Amino acid sequence: MEGRRFEGRRRIHQNPHEMRIQIVSYQGYGSLVLRSWEEIQLPLVDASLFLVTAPSRNKIPVCFHSYVQSPVRRSRRKLVMSPPLLGVVEGQGNVSLVSSSASADSSCQNNSELKERNYMGLSDCSSVDSSAISSLSNEKNSSLNLKATELRLGLPGSPSTPRDPELSLPSSGKQDEKPLFPLTPSKNGIHSSSHRAAVLGNKRWFSDAMDGFCEAKSAALTEGNWMFPAAGSVSETVPSAPQAKFAANSGATVILSPKPSLNSGVKSVPVKEYSGAQPAMLKEAAPAKVLQEKPRAANENNHNPSGAANNNSSAPAAKAQVVGWPPIRSFRKNSLSTTPKNNDEVDGKPGPGALFIKVSMDGAPYLRKVNLRTYSAYQELSSALEKMFSCFTIGQCGSHGAPWREMLSESKLKDLLHGSEYVLTYEDKDGDWMLVGDVPWEMFIDSCKRLRIMKSSDAIGLAPRAMEKSRNRN
Amino acid sequence: MTYFPEEVVEHMFDFLSSHRDRNAVSLVCKSWYRLERWSRQRVFVGNCYAMSPERLIARFPRIKALTLKGKPHFADFNLVPHDWGGFVHPWIEAMAKSCPVLEELRLKRMVVSDESLELLSRSFPNFKSLVLVSCEGFTTDGLAAVAANCRVLRELDLQEIEVEDRRGQWLGCFPDSCTTLVSLNFSCLKGEVNLGALERLVARCPNLKSLRLNRTVPLETLYKILLRAPQLVDLGTGSYVHEPNSEHYVKLTNAVLNCKSVRSLSGFLDVAPRCLPAIYPICLNLTSLNLSYAPGIQGSELIKLIRHCRNLHRLWILDCIGDKGLGVVASTCKELQELRVFPFDPYGGGNAAVTEEGLVAISMGCPKLHSLLYFCHQMTNSALITVANNCPNFTRFRLCILDPKKPDPATFQPLDEGFGAIVRSCKGLRRLSLSGLLTDQVFLYIGMYAERLEMLSIAFAGDSDKGMLYVLNGCKNLRKLEIRDSPFGNVALLTDVGKYETMRSLWMSSCDVTLGGCKTLAKKMPRLNVEIINEKEENYSDGQKVEKMYVYRTLDGPRRDAPDFVWTL
């Protein structure tokens, strides 16, 4: 298989420990079963996403994705697997940022990997992102791409929803505007917009930090798991996940550190300072990865004195996942999430070309029907479904709206831990459950019998409960 | 006192309405005990496992109105497993056997089966009032039985219940002879109701004062109902969707003009905001407005509506009103006494969500405010201190910051001082829910100042056993204490075990209490039920922390209906 590429459709298998791939263009029509770690030592690279599960002790997912919006990709719309792309995640700016900076400072190791990364350019990802650029532009890219990741029910090749422009303020801009507002609230509540903006800015700052956190995490995950392909045995790869966490922690701390200075009355933090902070963080994160044996040491070394900031960075992540928090009666939650009837359905008779199919979502109390003919691309379907079911996904993915797309990251792991990440699957005419997005749209609507928004943990065989347990034991 | 004949004393007792007074009276002497026992008609049981129904009936043989509560409060937030218990059936069976004069039953967080409702509907010939809040387990079949068999039913009130809808015809089961309804609330039902039957029922019940419809009742029906029942005081609309220019809308507008007696408005489960002007004419009369289930009313429409409601005492609303909107509330609703602000999207960032700013504005504009439930994204100490100074009359203060453990965003300090100010200046505080970053210091304040506190909810707070001890030692009137995810352990639990006999219940989940600690508590206090809820089916050792612990006093010993995962120690 090595060095060749093949195309296929991803099929959900009943055995949760497997993911099958129906290969379309490689040696006819067959399937590849990912069953054991050995078989996936050569990581799969998918045009839109690749998820590989290591059926290891703790079933900690090894998740990569590459999410590319290049026209080439979109036109193909098939699963492309080009095996030996090690340790690389391309396309998404934040990730490439990580890679490039890692390359900058860690020339000591893994040259091969860098080469492989360049290989990514070959695998038609946007080469802009993957090449090493100045940290500032990287920064921008990263923020833009973070916004692209707002998609919650991501579909391969469904890059941007209409709200993207609004969201995709470059984060440098945010940094600029934030310090303009004093963070201390005025005493008697007369304060209005300015304070509020400050508050908002503050919040964004958190989420930025979270994202930074994610990036670091992703980097750690990436390298932790894939830098040592030769030693890719279960025992070695699995422990690297907590390891990654430490690295990510340290990164987050660093990135958060400017906050106290904001607080203490510094009026403006130049953009450069911030963008400087990020590579710094990555540098810190990278050694942490290198020090595989001493995660704790790395953690402590990098620990920033700003304890409060640390607290904050953890809080938003926690809130979405805590059972029973916020304390709202479940009846209220459910009834608010019941969306009003769809206009197209109220009108009654479906149009001539209507193709109504049922959509179910794991954990959602009701089914919906959608008319596939009203959409012309995966992207539209995705946004529509997202709207329909957002109450559930938002609810479960947290404030940073972690879609499954960008989550090769802290949030990814977190959400996987809690089994609250979703993939869109469909049942085709043959009764097989497939991942949506691998075949051209027309072919899809011809063969789709129904849709299911599936817990991706079910889809790729995670056992969230088991994970939770193991985590609790720790 | 012995100079009065017993008949006279009994007659005097009739004027004692408060349970507390009656309890006190019954302790004076044997004769009073006996008299009070026979004259007590209303009984409140705060925990259905605190005693057996037989014992209750033996003590008070002439109960006409019974209020029962089942599951712990945290069950509202999914912290109690679904099949934990709280069955009402044994109570209804016992009452049916020995107390057929029962007229009124109010249940909260209990499991009510169709069987129970069927039995209820046939056992009490004079049954008048059924109020179910956050209950579960029944379907519309049970409601149909109640409708069909309770001939003099006055009140059927279903609040926040997911009812399985077997058939939409239950409303049609009210017999034609049923003209006694005063209150009918089925707003929580999902299924369709028979609109014709509803209209006829409303038409033949001249005393109907409270009517809350569900989502399936359209605006066309609403206006017909309003024509027939202009006497309504409490109205919950169902779907409020129509074209503003349509005939129906015009008719509704005219019908609303006649509803001068409406004081309480809720519903708008589906809403076309452009239709809202129809209700403006009655807004000035409103004392209660609940838009907390109306996510469709937002922005300027919401604010316009609020501006018409100058006499509100109670306002329940979603946080999409924003701080600015709360400012409008503060300048408009000078009589406001109770405010609840619920999160529109509890997990999302929230575009227009509220902060400390809105609360401060409310506290400045609404000095009569005494009850608050406020979900917000952040809170500061200075805001809480301002609020405490502006509104010293709080009896209920429940603040939920959506991020657990979030400090004061201005200073990054814990919110100890802010909550401390609340308990210090609100002498009458009975219920308090804490959130945000909190250390043991806040519990020191609570123990020191919150003398009347009856119920305290703690989540993600405190540093050590001291925190809980401050509360247990200080709050003399504490009845319910619920704690989650806080580092309180055995020392806190076991230092003053006698306290729990003065309380109704203690809930601790994800704290540091171990199984051994719970066992010690159970051994020391035989009249307490110490329940461990353990869903993981692991063998616990004594040193292991318990996931969930529920402690309550009881006269009845360990309950017999506990599922496997509940261990009573």
Of A214, A228, A237, residue with least CA distance to A285: A214
> What is the length of chain A?
474
Residue among B188, B349, B400 whose CB faces A326 most closely: B400
**Cβ–Cβ contacts within 10 Å for residue B307, how many?**
15
**Cβ contact B347–A396 (<8 Å):** yes
3-state per-residue secondary structure call for chain A? CCCCCEEEEEEECCCCCCEEEEECCCCCCEEEEECCCHHHCCCCCCCCCEEEECCCCCCCEEEECCCCCCHHHHHHCCEEECCCCCCCCCCCHHHHHHHHHHHHHCCCCCHHHHHHHHHHHHCCCCHHHHCCCCHHHHHHHHHHHHHHCCCCCCCCCCCCCCCHHHHCCCHHHHHHHHHHCCCCCCCCCCCCHHHHHHHHHHHHHHHHHHHHHHHHHHHHHHHHHHCCHHHCCHHHHCCHHHHHHHHHHHHHHHHHCHHHHHHCCCCCCCHHHHHHHHHHHHHHHHHHHHCCCCHHHHHHHHCCCCHHHHHHHHHHHHHHHCCCCCCCCHHHHHHHHCCCCCHHHHCCCCCCCCCEEEEEECCCCCCEEEEHHHCCCHHHHHHHHHHHHHHHHHHHHCCCCCCCCCCCCHHHHHHHHCCCCEEEEEECCCCCEEECCCCCHHHHHHHCCEEEEEEHHHHHCCCHHHHHHHHHHC
Chain B: residue whose CA lies nearest to A336: B293
Strand A19-23 versus strand A6-12 pairing type:
antiparallel
Distance (Å) from the alpha carbon of A305 to chain B's nearest alpha carbon: 14
**Cβ contact A327–B404 (<8 Å):** no
Predicted pLDDT of residue B323: 92
* Best A178, A204, A336 residue to mutate vs chain B (most B CBs within 10 Å): A336
**Cβ contact B348–A196 (<8 Å):** no
Q: Is A452 exposed, middle or buried (0-12, 13-18, 19+ CB in 10 A)?
A: buried
Predicted pLDDT of residue A459: 57
Q: Are A35 and A52 in contact (CB under 8 A)?
A: no
Chain A: residue whose CA lies nearest to B359: A189
Give A-chain residues touching B402 at CB under 8 angstroms.
319, 326
Q: Which residues of chain B have pLDDT under 70?
A: 1-2, 167-168, 348-352, 537-538
**Cβ–Cβ contacts within 10 Å for residue A241, how many?**
18
Predicted pLDDT of residue A154: 41
Distance (Å) from the alpha carbon of B429 to chain A's nearest alpha carbon: 20
Q: Please give the Cα distance from B53 to A363 (Å, whole number).
A: 38
Q: Please give the Cα distance from A197 to A183 (Å, whole number).
A: 9
Residue among B269, B344, B382 whose CB faces A187 most closely: B382
**Cβ contact A326–B293 (<8 Å):** no
Q: Is A165 exposed, middle or buried (0-12, 13-18, 19+ CB in 10 A)?
A: exposed
B292 contact A CB<8A:
yes
**Cβ contact A318–B361 (<8 Å):** no
Q: Which residues of chain A have pLDDT under 50?
A: 1-7, 14-18, 20-320, 339-352, 394-420, 461-474
Distance (Å) from the alpha carbon of A324 to chain B's nearest alpha carbon: 5
Q: Are A48 and A67 in contact (CB under 8 A)?
A: yes
Q: Which residues of B383-408 are buried (b: 16+ CB within 10 A; e: fewer)?
A: bbbbbbebbbbbbbbbbbbbbbbbbb
Give B-chain residues touching A334 at CB under 8 angstroms.
162
Of A149, A43, A44, residue with least CA distance to A92: A149
Residue among A188, A325, A330 whose CB faces B459 most closely: A325
Contact partners, residue B33, CB within 8 Å, separation at least 6: B26, B27
Of B361, B357, B356, B442, residue with least CA distance to B399: B356
Predicted pLDDT of residue B46: 94
* Best A202, A259, A314, A399 residue to mutate vs chain B (most B CBs within 10 Å): A399
**Cβ contact B484–A324 (<8 Å):** yes
Two structure tokens written together for B527: 């009249």
Chain A: residue whose CA lies nearest to B270: A340
Residue among B78, B134, B433 whose CB faces A323 most closely: B78
Residue ranges of B 403-432 with Cβ closer than 8 A to chain A: 403-407, 409-412
Q: Please give the Cα distance from A36 to A88 (Å, whole number).
A: 21
Residue ranges of B 154-193 with Cβ closer than 8 A to chain A: 160-162, 188
**Cβ contact B403–A340 (<8 Å):** no
Separation of CA B7 from chain center = 38
Q: Could you tell me which residues are beta bridge partners of residue B69?
A: B108
Q: Which residues of B211-243 are buried (b: 16+ CB within 10 A; e: fewer)?
A: bbbbbbbbbbbbbbbbbbbeebbbbbbbbbbbe
To 5 degrees, how large is the angle CA A392–CA B324–CA B348? 15
Predicted pLDDT of residue A456: 64
**Cβ contact B76–A312 (<8 Å):** no
Of A460, A372, A370, residue with least CA distance to A423: A460
Q: Please give the Cα distance from B458 to B434 (Å, whole number).
A: 6
Q: Please give the Cα distance from A277 to A273 (Å, whole number).
A: 6
Helix axes A93-105, A271-290, angle to 10 degrees: 70
Q: Are A129 and A123 in contact (CB under 8 A)?
A: no
Place of tokens 């990912």: A34
Of B89, B520, B457, B559, residue with least CA distance to A326: B457
Q: Are B312 and B286 in contact (CB under 8 A)?
A: yes
**Cβ contact B346–A183 (<8 Å):** no
Q: Are B107 and B68 in contact (CB under 8 A)?
A: yes
**Cβ contact B77–A199 (<8 Å):** no
CA trace torsion B58, B62, B67, B71 (10° rounding): 20
Q: Are B28 and B6 in contact (CB under 8 A)?
A: no
Residue among A183, A191, A327 whose CB faces B77 most closely: A327
* Best B412, B460, B535, B537 residue to mutate vs chain A (most A CBs within 10 Å): B412
Q: Are B326 and B341 in contact (CB under 8 A)?
A: yes
Cis geometry, peptide bond prior to residue A326 (ω within 30 degrees of 0): yes
Q: Please give the Cα distance from B360 to B374 (Å, whole number).
A: 12
Give B-chain residues touching A194 at CB under 8 angstroms.
none
Give A-chain residues touching B485 at CB under 8 angstroms.
322
Give A-chain residues touching B357 at CB under 8 angstroms.
185, 189, 191-192, 195-196
CA distances from B81 to B60, B76, B112, B534, B564 (A): 33, 11, 16, 10, 11
Helix (H, G, I), strand (E, B) or coil at B565: coil
Give the global pTM.
0.61
Q: What is the DSSP letter of B187?
A: T
Checking ipTM against 0.95, whether it exceeds it is no
B270 contact A CB<8A:
yes
Distance (Å) from the alpha carbon of A87 to chain B's nearest alpha carbon: 33
**Cβ contact B77–A315 (<8 Å):** no
Two structure tokens written together for A1: 């298989």
Give A-chain residues touching B79 at CB under 8 angstroms.
323-324
B360 contact A CB<8A:
yes
**Cβ contact B386–A315 (<8 Å):** no
Residue among A189, A263, A331 whose CB faces B162 most closely: A331
Q: Please give the Cα distance from A422 to A413 (Å, whole number).
A: 13
Q: Are A266 and A300 in contact (CB under 8 A)?
A: no
Residue among B162, B342, B361 whose CB faces A328 most closely: B342
Q: Are B217 and B189 in contact (CB under 8 A)?
A: no
